[in-house]
Structure 1
Amino acid sequence: MLAVNVSDTRRKIYVSNFFFSLQFGLAFFFNATFLSSLGLSEKMVGIVFALSYAASLVLLFSVPLLLRKFGNYSLFFSSSVFLVCVSALLAFSLSPIASVLLVATLIVLNIFLYTLLDIFLESAVDSTDGIGKEHGLFLTVTHGGRIVAQLAAGTLLLWGGFTYLYGTVAGVVIILAFITAFFLRNVREPVYEKLDFASVLLRLYYSTDMRHVFKLQFLLYLFYSIMAVYTPIYLYEYVGLSLGEMGIVFAIMLAPFFLLEILIGKFEDVRGEKGVLMYGFLILAVTTAALSLISTSSIVIWTVALFATRIGALMVEMGNDVYFFKHIDASKAAEVAAFRALFPLAFAIGPFLGVVLLFFIPLYAIFASVGVIMLLGLVTARTLTDIH
């Protein structure tokens, strides 16, 4: 096998992550709107998303077995090629049933590929001391790609609707597949051990702080899952924003993840992770609930309001990640895998929760409901042991 420079390998992984995040961001906030345009009700859209993420959760628990059998490179490349085919088919006007199945497959493949990309990064970091820094850079590239995607999505939707959007997704994934084939072939494949999730449950049972950290992460992902499905539908169907305007709104909405990480990091140095989590959940709860009170169709007001919710989300994400990795070292693969699995778990439950709520409340009130749920995070964060 060829000798590979680790630093050079990481740069190639960052480039791969940018293109992955670009294609992911192009479709992420518009899949729900696309399904709605096919004639699916808000409840049916929620069910499609919930089932898709439930399927991705099952696949995620199969990752250790698949890695031992095929290796990360082969899985990532073959899944990328499959994603090209799925995205290209979505660019054509197919039957509603076929389109729904393709969107579900696209969601599952994206969750799977993101997990494999994260494993590429861990394989390229040769010391536990560099994990935090590398994950920070990895997340910065991720958010940068998604912001660019939102700006591009608005233009693509104006030019050619969903045909151009999904066609561009396919084109970006082709680039990702080429990068994988030529630059990630020689990334070191570690020994993939069988994960013992029973030990994770035992640790959560005996560690109150770890149990609460998992709860907080689940709540954050629950927020993302409900907002990702119902915010685009509400802005398009009820507020009356065009698809192009929505792209601009979502790009600015995500800006805190790219612009405010250093500032919030300094705030974390002063207040500690517990303080950041408490303030983060308070901001998240208040700003999300306030969305239910907005009756205007002003793009400026909606942009500012959604931007504010992501400041709270960023504080929660940063505070919880740091707190988690202060309790877990790199050898605790089962804990890290279980922590990752909270994403598809929450995204499977969140849309179903939204469907249930919509039987009792109108769509605009779902934001107030999510805000109230986020207050549980504030209560839980207060019970954490302050390790600042």
Structure 2
Amino acid sequence: MPIKKKHHERIDKKKIKLITFLSFLMGVGGSSLYYIISSYLEESVGEANVGIVYSFTYLALFFLLLNFHKLINKFGKARIFFVLQFVKIVILTMLGILPVASFDAVLVVGFLMLSYITWVEMDIILESFSMDKVSGRIRGLYLVAHSLGYMVGPIVSTQLLGKFGFPSVFLFGMLLNSIFFIVTLLHFRMMKAEMREVPGIRKLMKKVMADKNLRGIYIVSTVLEIFYTLMVVYMPIYLLNQGLSWAQIGLIISLIHVPYLVLQYPAGMLADRKFGEKEMIIGSLLLLGFSTTYIYSIESPSFFVWLAVLMVTRVGASILEILRDSYFYKQVDAGDIDVIDFFRTASPVAFILGPMFASLILLFFSMKAVFIFTGMVMFLGIVPAMGLVDNLSEEEIMIKNGAKTAGNRWNFWRALERRFDIRKMIKTGKF
């Protein structure tokens, strides 16, 4: 079923600005907790069980997202949203005032799941007030605000942790989530679900897989999330083995978010006005593949060498992230809650598949091989990316309508697409 046939749009600039501010709050609140949760779980359930907690969380999240549209349809978008926000505040309060115990793992699982669901719901809310022709710019600004929050959060949480311990970090998170709850309650309490149907899991997957653009961008999204998963899990360990300190690693983690602040809005604007998303998606996957694979060859305790290499990987990742979102949200609107929920299962799928394959690799090779594997996955992502039908930019629409003459770049990419038809190449085996 083509999603585009049911495309409805309206733009509300005030709401978009407010949602962008809320994205910053989510970034600060999320990153202030995500980086310390592993250490907290180590105290509550033991080092050996930390991985089990994360695996269970993302497996449960995967199935929840596949069925989340049914809950929204039954109880309403607003009711579900605010109940979950309130539960998250209660969880953070309990983590902040109760002594460390094994039961805390249940609370942590609840917090992680609700945090991701919040991100998905904010995606849906933002789509309700967006328009396709400016989607790249809107999404770019939204992600820039979130990335800025991600830079601030770890600085605050590590200071609180060093002076007052884990309870202070959880209570800080509770305070931010309370502000988030109040602001959303005041401005979005009247929002309504616009879903058109309530398909089962099998029908939903068939619906997405039948649309080559949705299928292709979902695979690209999963590839990007595998990169994030493996880099988050294995990069700090590898850097420690290279001789860097935790203080240096923490600084690197903060600084590599700079490309997200600098590049995402301009990349979204270029996609809207000049190029469309497809060409830049392919380019960013190439950059990610080469830069991640290059990590295999580095043996150095130098802070600046690692900062430079990891910064290049994040240049590719930051551009791919905004283009992925921009492309996808031009295929759907706020009524396609089921498709949006399915699209966001890419992260839990990556968190299940990535470490599983990495663990198999580590049975036979050193940790360096994980980065070769990650780079190869990025290159494989180019195949579905080349099969995408590009969203036309403002300039390309003018060229198509005869209002502007095509430049050499535009003719080159159209000729390249005709020359390398991915579906034909796969069927015939001929280039």
TM-score by length of structure 1 reads 0.82
| CA contact 1:36–1:45 (8 Å) conserved in 2 | yes
- C-alpha displacement at 1:173, in angstroms? 1.6
CA–CA distance in structure 1, aligned partners of residues 369 and 119 of structure 2: 32
Counterpart for residue 152 of structure 1: 156
| CA contact 1:32–1:45 (8 Å) conserved in 2 | yes
Counterpart for residue 88 of structure 2: 83
Counterpart for residue 319 of structure 1: 323
Query: Using a 3 Å threshold, how does the CA distance of structure 1 residues 202 and 98 change in structure 2: closer, same or farther?
Result: closer
Q: Could you tell me which amino acid in structure 2 is paired with residue 289 of structure 1? A: T
Query: Using a 3 Å threshold, how does the CA distance of structure 1 residues 129 and 383 change in structure 2: closer, same or farther?
Result: closer
User: Residue 278 of structure 1: which of 279, 282, 286 is its match?
Assistant: 282
Q: Could you tell me which amino acid in structure 1 is paired with residue 26 of structure 2? A: F
Query: Using a 3 Å threshold, how does the CA distance of structure 1 residues 361 and 101 change in structure 2: closer, same or farther?
Result: farther
| CA contact 2:242–2:299 (8 Å) conserved in 1 | no
Query: Using a 3 Å threshold, how does the CA distance of structure 1 residues 288 and 150 change in structure 2: closer, same or farther?
Result: farther
Deviation string, structure 1 residues 43-89 (Cα, Å, up to 9, x no partner): x5443322211111222233223223433333333322322333344
Query: Using a 3 Å threshold, how does the CA distance of structure 1 residues 356 and 195 change in structure 2: closer, same or farther?
Result: farther
CA–CA distance in structure 2, aligned partners of residues 34 and 84 of structure 1: 18
Gaps (5+ residues) in structure 1? none
Counterpart for residue 117 of structure 1: 122
Query: Using a 3 Å threshold, how does the CA distance of structure 1 residues 31 and 17 change in structure 2: closer, same or farther?
Result: same
Q: Which of the pair has more CA radius of gyration?
A: 2
Deviation string, structure 1 residues 190-238 (Cα, Å, up to 9, x no partner): 3444333656544555444443222111111121222233334444677
Counterpart for residue 7 of structure 2: none
User: Residue 303 of structure 1: which of 307, 312, 318 is its match?
Assistant: 307
Is 1:251 paired with 2:254? yes
TM-score by length of structure 2 reads 0.75
- C-alpha displacement at 1:23, in angstroms? 0.8
CA–CA distance in structure 1, aligned partners of residues 40 and 286 of structure 2: 32
**Across the two proteins, how many residue pairs are aligned to each other?**
379
What's the RMSD between the two structures over aligned residues? 3.3
Counterpart for residue 104 of structure 1: 109
- C-alpha displacement at 1:249, in angstroms? 1.9
CA–CA distance in structure 2, aligned partners of residues 93 and 305 of structure 1: 42
2:189 is paired with a residue whose SS is coil
User: Residue 59 of structure 1: which of 56, 64, 73 is its match?
Assistant: 64
Is 1:221 paired with 2:228? no
Q: List aligned pairs for 1:1-388, cutoff 5 A.
A: 6-36=12-42, 39-41=46-48, 44-91=49-96, 94-95=99-100, 97-123=102-128, 125=129, 133-186=137-190, 188-196=191-199, 200-235=204-239, 239-242=243-246, 244-265=247-268, 268=271, 272-328=276-332, 332-385=336-389
Deviation string, structure 1 residues 323-352 (Cα, Å, up to 9, x no partner): 434544555444333222222222233333
- C-alpha displacement at 1:383, in angstroms? 4.2
CA–CA distance in structure 1, aligned partners of residues 327 and 319 of structure 2: 12
- C-alpha displacement at 1:260, in angstroms? 1.0
CA–CA distance in structure 1, aligned partners of residues 385 and 349 of structure 2: 21
Deviation string, structure 1 residues 105-161 (Cα, Å, up to 9, x no partner): 2211111111222233334x1766665544333223222222222333343344345
Q: Could you tell me which amino acid in structure 2 is paired with residue 63 of structure 1? A: F
Q: Could you tell me which amino acid in structure 2 is paired with residue 195 of structure 1? A: V
**Sequence identity percentage:** 25
- Greater CA drift, 328-337 or 167-176: 328-337
CA–CA distance in structure 1, aligned partners of residues 51 and 379 of structure 2: 23
Query: Using a 3 Å threshold, how does the CA distance of structure 1 residues 35 and 230 change in structure 2: closer, same or farther?
Result: farther
CA–CA distance in structure 2, aligned partners of residues 68 and 152 of structure 1: 38
| CA contact 2:77–2:193 (8 Å) conserved in 1 | no
1:324 is paired with a residue whose SS is helix
Deviation string, structure 1 residues 151-193 (Cα, Å, up to 9, x no partner): 333433443454443332222222222323444334x213444
| CA contact 1:49–1:348 (8 Å) conserved in 2 | no
1:62 is paired with a residue whose SS is helix
CA–CA distance in structure 2, aligned partners of residues 171 and 342 of structure 1: 30
Q: Could you tell me which amino acid in structure 2 is paired with residue 85 of structure 1? A: V
2:344 is paired with a residue whose SS is helix
Q: Could you tell me which amino acid in structure 2 is paired with residue 283 of structure 1? A: L
